[in-house]
Structure 1
Amino acid sequence: MAGNGNSGRTGKPAIVHLVNGNPGRRKQAALQDEMNSPAVPVGAPPKPDWLTPLAGEEWDRVLPDLLTLGLISTLDMMALASYCEAVADYQMFSAQIAERNAAMQGRGDVQTFATGAKQISVWRQLRNDAEKRANQAGAQFGFSPMARRNLRVTAPPQGELFPNEQKDAALKYF
């Protein structure tokens, strides 16, 4: 059925339009209104206590940038945790592959069976799976290289350089 609610590209957040230079030429006022009143408030989700130490490090690494860009909400805990765990698995499996290759003089990536058949090692298969999971989960936050290809990074908004007593007084009463 053509023209139903599921057809067409999925919508992008207003911040992504602005960071990309507004290629669709949407009205600036509409984009600013959407940014100032998002459907889901921007905020840091609580860090799950079940994350592995490596996943916790990845969480701490990416969360400030996601907050700065306004691409994360308190509802996004599971999506970010999935990404962080996949990255942690990738790092762990890469270490196992390096250790195995060192022990076997570089022949640790291929298993050879008694019949002479060869197969990629289980560690390499697990690492490849972790890479796919990390890429899929990271794509939800714009972590893929294709999402960044046309990205024009702008400086984050700067705070007040000098004290502004009039503004502080006005904010106290409103």
Structure 2
Amino acid sequence: MAGNSNSGRSGKPAALHILQGNRSKKNFDELIAEVKQPTVPVDAPPMPDILSDDAAAEWERVIPDLIALGLVSRLDLLALATYCQAYGDWLKYQRLIAKRNRESDDELAGDVQTFKTGAQQMHVLRQLANDAEKRANSAGAAFGFSPMARRNMKTAMQPQGELFPNEQRDAADRYFN
């Protein structure tokens, strides 16, 4: 047997096929039809009230673009909240590291912890910041928030006219107006 349902690469949404130039030569009319009638409705999930202020600001920043690209639905609550909270945590720890570095004579006080014995290790704030960065990169990859996740989406940055149906643009307008 050649494999099972878990074998090979996972499929791409039709919108990404169109944005990336449809190298797989799928039927263009079928791709357009899939974009116009997505299997999951394009809409913003409700923002969780437990997000930190920085995470909530990130949520508000990314939602319009995700709606316009058709990459978010109400089902994506956990993935989007995970990304936004990890981003908010990363900002918090980076600010604490910068504050420690400014207030200390040692310019690496927030990066390196020195013990009484003279032994050194990475400061706990740096460890927490690195962990938050990994969590944000991992969760954000699902939405194309890293260069590697969108490495083939260069055409998305160039104006191409009307790529997405009016319903998605209207959903974005409803969310922010």
What TM-score, normalized by structure 2, do the two folds share?
0.85
Query: How many residues align structurally?
Result: 159
Cross-structure match for 1:62: 62
Give a deviation string over 1:54-108, Cα, whole Å, max 9, x none.
Answer: 1110000000000000000011111101100000000000000000011113131
Structure 1 residue 111 displacement after superposition:
0.8
RMSD of aligned Cα (Å): 1.7
Give how far 1:158 is off. 8.5
**Deviations 1:143-174 (Å, cap 9, x if unpaired)?**
12112223112436389xxxxxxxxxxxxxxx
| Structure-1-length-normalised TM-score | 0.86
Percentage of pairs with the same residue: 54
CA apart distance, 1:51: 1.2
Inter-partner Cα distance in structure 1 for 2:163 and 2:129 = 41
Taking the TM superposition and a 5 Å limit, the aligned residue runs for 1:6-155 are 6-105=6-105, 106-108=107-109, 109-151=111-153, 152-153=155-156, 154-155=158-159
Please, which runs of 5 or more residues in structure 2 have no aligned partner? Answer: 165-177
Q: Is the 8 A contact 2:90 2:129 kept in 1?
A: yes
Q: CA deviation at 1:115?
A: 2.1
Gaps of 5+ in 1: 160-174
User: Which of 1 and 2 has greater Rg?
Assistant: 1
Of 62-71 and 26-35, the range deviating more from structure 2: 26-35
Show CA shifts across 1:10-45 (max 9, x none). Answer: 111100111111121211011112112211111111
Distance change >3 Å, CA 116–CA 54, structure 1 → 2: same
Moved over 6 A (4+): none
Tell me, yes or no, if the aligned pair for 2:142 and 2:149 is still in contact at 8 Å: no
Matching residue of 1:4: 4
CA distance in 1, matches of 2:5, 2:40: 20
Residues in 1 aligned to 2:146 and 2:137: alpha-carbon distance in whole angstroms: 7
